[in-house]
Amino acid sequence: MTGARLWLIGYAIWSLLVSGWFFLDGRSADLADLSGDQINILTIAARKDHPDLLRRDLVVGNPADTAYYIPAFVDTVRLLSRPDHDYLRGLNVLLFLTSLLYMWGWWLLFSSWGEPLTAALLAFLARGILWPPGNELWGIAGLWTMLPRTLFLAALPWVLWMWVRRRTTTGGWLVAAMSCGIIVNIHPISGACIAAALLVSELAWELGERRRYAEVARRCAGGAMMVLVGASPFLISFWLTLGQLGGVDPAEFERATRERLSPVFSDVALYLSSWLQVKWMLLILMPWMIGAAVWSRLAESHRTAVLALGAFAMSCVAFAVGPVLVEESLRHWGHTPRFGFQLIRTGKYILAPSLIVLAMLCAFLVSWACARVRWARPVIVAASACVVAVTLLARNPVFDSIPGVGDEVVRQLWPPSAGPATEPDIGSLTTVIDWIRDNTSTDAGFIGPRLIRVGALRSVIHDFAGAVMLIEGNPRAYVATARRQEDIRRAELHGALAQARLFASWGADYWVTRTVAPGLTVAYSSTPWFVYDLRPGQMASVAAHQPRSRP
């Protein structure tokens, strides 16, 4: 058996071990482990599977409002959740498959330069959880990380591997371009960035190879067409379901969007400054600095590849910040576009070319060292084993103050894995949700945490956090939700009873909150949560015993 085949078998077993361990950890997960994005996604899935429920819900009450949202991912979760619509199980199965795809893909890409050991180590470390600027996520760990962008990140190295290995032939390049278009359907924002970066970097690579301009133009045009063909399912769905700004004051829409989103989504200077932390500078720039130091020793083909990857990195930056700058210019001419806040999130993909260059240089340095030092290979193997051992021990408090080792990027490489809670006191909230599911009408409307949607299959009629799903699908409903949020702030000044009356006027039947509200009828409570009954009969009783305050 050849050494390459042994490496392949060994790494496959290791990947199955890691992915299987996370799968077993995920089997004990409950609603408390879901992230906010997952709650939104599973709510869309639940609305499709239970068309008679959630009809009064703000976000999914009208299925057309969220029809644009990545149907490929939503329907995959639905398929894996059959026959009993157990969405946690469906997510967990998808996590297992995605974890394998992730580890195998990055290893395959990194090993393109001939060093399977360092490729295996880097592919494993590439799983580590990072939080790039723009409220983004890089890596894969527990159930809470199973998102469309995570699946996209698992599919990305396969596309890049196909590009690196097969681009020399026209057919290989066109297949790589089409595969790039296909993964647009997994996470369109990310896919658009990668497609643009791939086309630019291919152009740079071909110019570096001194191809004829006519051939370069023909290949790039063909690649662009194949990207569009691959992305066509999403493009067609998006343009058919995209909500229009008709009837919405553009200035009011802009205010509502800025109120909900972090300033980093609209301020290029703030976004770029967020990348100036030491950890990001080291992770992004170190491979390029090493490459510059050994530039003269690299083969000509490697130099051309590095230059193409540099173009890839610059394209990612331009794709992230360029649209925001364009928006600012358009506003001066009276236009109010609404795409930059989404695209700025793609800046994280500058990490991909840095990791690829690092893998290439590690392969070069290992080969160089082994050719000159007899015992270099055993030392490298031992060092790699030590790194893996450190990742296993990193949760020990002794590592808390050690940069890197004490961070999530290392500590989340092995189970158990816990993400940030979507709600305070989430454990007791799940008890409340169980009560809601068993004791309230299926057409009841709630004011409260969005977890009620997927946990109890009940409508939440106001939810400013979840309303971000309406920005593209129904801008008018999003602006109306922002107005209601302002009404809530005014009512808060007059106490809980004023808020309850406001919610009741919107048609809410129950209010789930941690607010203590003497005078309201408590339908159920589980410290610190209360479920207040806002149905007309109960509110009439409150009005009879309490003086009405005017908000």
pLDDT above 60: residue 522 = yes
Average pLDDT over every residue of 199-220:
92
Separation between Cα atoms, residue 240 and residue 67, nearest integer Å: 9
Q: Is residue 369, in this structure, part of any structural domain at all? A: no
Q: In terms of C-beta distances under 8 Å and separation of at least 24 residues, what long-range contacts does 313-317 make, across chains too? A: 313/197, 313/350, 313/353, 313/354, 314/200, 315/193, 315/196, 315/197, 315/200, 315/201, 316/193, 316/197, 316/346, 316/347, 316/349, 316/350, 316/352, 316/353, 317/347, 317/350
Q: Which helix (H) or strand (E) holds 512?
A: strand 510-513
Confidence category of residue 492, pLDDT binned at 50, 70, 90: very high
Q: Is residue 449, in this structure, part of any structural domain at all? A: yes
pLDDT of residue 243: 54
The distance from CA 30 to its chain's CA centroid, rounded to whole angstroms, is 20
pLDDT of residue 49: 95
pLDDT tens for residues 359-413?
A: 999 999 999 998 888 888 899 999 999 999 999 998 888 888 888 788 888 999 9
Structural domains of the chain, count: 1
Q: Which residues of 306-318 are buried (b: 16+ CB within 10 A; e: fewer)?
A: bebbbbbbbbbbb
Between strands 510-513 and 529-533, the pairing is: antiparallel
Q: Is residue 466, in this structure, part of any structural domain at all? A: yes
* End-to-end Cα separation, the chain, in angstroms: 79
Sign of the C-alpha dihedral computed for residues 34, 70, 12 and 96 taken in this order: positive
Separation between Cα atoms, residue 350 and residue 353, nearest integer Å: 6
Q: Is residue 314, in this structure, part of any structural domain at all? A: no
Tokens of 63: 């299925």
Q: Is residue 137, in this structure, part of any structural domain at all? A: no
Between strands 459-462 and 445-447, the pairing is: parallel
pLDDT tens for residues 346-355?
A: 999 999 999 9
Q: Is residue 407, in this structure, part of any structural domain at all? A: no
Average pLDDT over every residue of 441-454:
95
Q: Side chain identity at 139, as an amino acid letter?
A: G
Strands (E), 336-456: 445-447
Separation between Cα atoms, residue 373 and residue 379, nearest integer Å: 10
Q: Is residue 439, in this structure, part of any structural domain at all? A: yes
pLDDT tens for residues 179-206?
A: 999 999 999 999 999 999 999 999 999 9
Residues 6+ apart with CB under 8 A from 46: 53, 54, 60, 85, 87, 453, 454, 457
| Whole-structure pTM value | 0.92
pLDDT of residue 473: 84
pLDDT of residue 549: 47
Nearest Cα to Cα of residue 342 among 238, 246, 248, 418: 238
Confidence category of residue 336, pLDDT binned at 50, 70, 90: low
- CA 363-365-368 angle, to 5 degrees, is 105
Domain that holds residue 502: 426-545
Q: Is residue 526, in this structure, part of any structural domain at all? A: yes
pLDDT of residue 227: 97
Tokens of 503: 């919610």
pLDDT of residue 341: 72
Nearest Cα to Cα of residue 221 among 162, 184, 183, 170: 170
pLDDT above 60: residue 544 = no
